[in-house]
């Protein structure tokens, strides 16, 4: 429940001083915009970019440069990039999308309370930081994969 700031303070107040609605509204829209962008990048990566990575090479092709998955799987030293890094890149962004959606929901539902309630603010910051860490890890795995087998 969003209105449980404290027993003595009204919802939307911080130490009895009202929290302005405008910053709370901007924060809610920022959180919603962030969630939308993360979802768009996750869906685009999953359904547009990832299928390009998975294209199988035709029989007798002399070079696997145009087929990133086959190129990674052909070398035992880079096989881990497919089995670990690409699995991370395929699944972890969905978790980041869910975390940013949770923050957007709380920010839009509990606008002024989010700014006034320290524990709610901390929860939102922890979830946002978790999403940032997940996205950063996925980006690092992408750097490793793209160094060896870039998608063209």
12, part of any domain: no
| Cβ atoms of residues 42 and 94 within 8 Å | yes
Q: How far is CA 108 from CA 36, 82, 101, 134, in A?
A: 13, 39, 10, 23
Q: Give CA–CA dist 103/130, Å, rounded.
A: 11
29, part of any domain: yes
- Could you report the per-residue pLDDT of 45-64, keeping only the tens digit for each? 999 989 988 899 999 888 88
Among 25-29, 117-121, 122-126, 145-149, the minimum mean pLDDT is found in 145-149
Domain that residue 93 falls in: 20-55+66-148
- Could you report the per-residue pLDDT of 86-106, keeping only the tens digit for each? 889 999 999 999 999 999 999
The total number of structural domains that make up the chain:
1
- Return the number of other C-beta atoms located less than 10 Å from residue 9's C-beta: 16
Radius of gyration of the chain (CA): 22
Say whether pLDDT at 1 is over 80: no
């Amino acid at each position: 429940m969003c209105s449980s700031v404290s027993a003595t303070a009204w919802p939307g107040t911080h130490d009895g001083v009202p929290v302005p609605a405008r910053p709370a509204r901007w924060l809610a829209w920022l959180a919603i915009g962030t969630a939308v962008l993360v979802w768009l990048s996750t869906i685009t990566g999953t359904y547009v970019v990832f299928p390009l990575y998975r294209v199988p090479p035709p029989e007798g092709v002399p070079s696997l440069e145009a087929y990133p998955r086959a190129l990674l799987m052909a070398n035992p030293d880079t096989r881990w990039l497919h089995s670990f890094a690409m699995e991370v890149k395929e699944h972890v962004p969905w978790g980041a999308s869910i975390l940013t959606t949770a923050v957007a929901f709380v920010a839009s539902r509990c606008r002024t309370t989010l700014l006034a309630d320290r524990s709610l603010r901390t929860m939102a910051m922890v979830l946002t930081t978790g999403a940032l860490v997940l996205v950063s890890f996925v980006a690092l795995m992408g750097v490793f994969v793209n160094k060896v087998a870039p998608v063209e």
